[in-house]
Amino acid sequence: MPDKQQIETIKGKNAFIVDMDGVLYHGNKLLPGVIEFTEWLIKAEKKFLFLTNASERTPEELRKKLFRLGVRVPSDVFYTSALATAMFLSSQKPRGSAYIIGDAGLINALYNVGYTMNNVDPDYVVIGETRSYSYETIEKAINLVLKGARLIGANPDVTGPGEHGLVPGTKALISPIEMATGRKAYFIGKPNPLMMRNALKKINATREESIVIGDRMDTDIVAGIESDIDTVLVLTGITTQETIDTYPYRPRYILNGIADLVTCYA
């Protein structure tokens, strides 16, 4: 159990960048303490952002999901790797075109920055999490990349937590395309510092007043470290107490789960 001083130090931060999968929920199962933590963020007038490497859902879909689980927050507190990907591509090639293997969150994000969908000669092949992944889509992506389209991954996650165990992430889905073409994808989501810089801008926060809460050493925690933001690892997702020492870096704080912030020393 974390000590009282650590809890008070974490809660003393003014801005919270909070991962979702493995921190707030597993699939459609809300994790303990999330409702109370969110209510505290609002009551204490903290700046906060729910930041996810998942690209499938739009912010409005994420708002509705949390609403169904009992958490009431506006859609503008969500920031996804799909939104970060769209911002990056728009800055690289405004109003370009893309062949997308992904779901509504990624498609809508690109559409909203002026990108058109193109399966003939796109500027980019963009991959995110999706259940509509097939041999045909892989074949199409491979040939478009070989013809000159640049390969982009919404995030570098190999797996993610689901209700019934691990599910394949974007990096796992994009690997066959990389192997077949010999081209390496550029990944936008955490731990790419772009994601964290965008998050800080969105909530108008400085590095010093912020803290990152996540369940993955290889994305959330390293993203915070490389962006010089304090980090909290929760043990309700991918990383376990036993695997922490396999990494050459450490989080600033370790909690059993988000519930520690609202139940410990109450």
Active site amino acids: 19, 21
Nearest to 128 by CA among 147, 150, 106, 144: 106
Torsion of CA 205, 207, 209, 213, to 10 degrees: 100
Q: Are 196 and 227 in contact (CB under 8 A)?
A: yes
% residues pLDDT > 90 (the chain):
85
224 vs 251: CA distance, rounded Å? 9
The H or E element spanning position 212 is strand 210-214
Model confidence at 26, pLDDT cuts 50, 70, 90, reads confident
DSSP 8-state secondary structure symbol assigned to residue 121:
S
Q: Report, as an integer, the average pLDDT of 39-50.
A: 97
- Single-letter amino acid, residue 81: S
Gap between the Cα atoms of 177 and 92, Å rounded: 22
Residue 97 vs residues 90, 92, 249: alpha-carbon distances, Å = 10, 12, 39
| Contact (CB, 8 A) for 113 and 90 | yes
What does the pLDDT read at residue 197? Answer: 92
Give the Å distances, CA to CA, from 225 to 81, 104, 116, 222.
Answer: 19, 31, 36, 5
pLDDT confidence of residue 265 = 52
Which amino acid belongs to residue 88? F
Please answer whether residues 213 and 18 qualify as being in contact, where contact means their C-beta atoms are separated by less than 8 angstroms.
yes
- Least confident window among 104-108, 157-161, 236-240: 157-161
> What average pLDDT does the segment 182-186 reach?
97
Other Cβ atoms closer than 10 A to 115? 24
Q: Which helix (H) or strand (E) holds 101?
A: strand 97-101
Residue for token pair 């590095």: 207
- Which pLDDT score is estimated for 27? 82
pLDDT value at position 266?
Answer: 52
Please compute the mean of the pLDDT values over residues 195-206 and round it to a whole number: 95
**Which pLDDT score is estimated for 238?**
85
Q: What is the pLDDT of residue 84?
A: 96
**Ordered DSSP codes for 24-49:** TEETTEEPTTHHHHHHHHHHTT-EEE
User: What are the structural domains, with CATH classification, of the chain?
Assistant: 4-53+190-263 (3.40.50.1000), 82-187 (3.40.50.1000)
Helix, strand, or coil (residue 92)? helix
From 48, 78, 77, 84, select the one nearest 191 (Cα to Cα). 84
Q: Are 7 and 39 in contact (CB under 8 A)?
A: no
- pLDDT-derived band at 159 (thresholds 50, 70, 90) equals confident
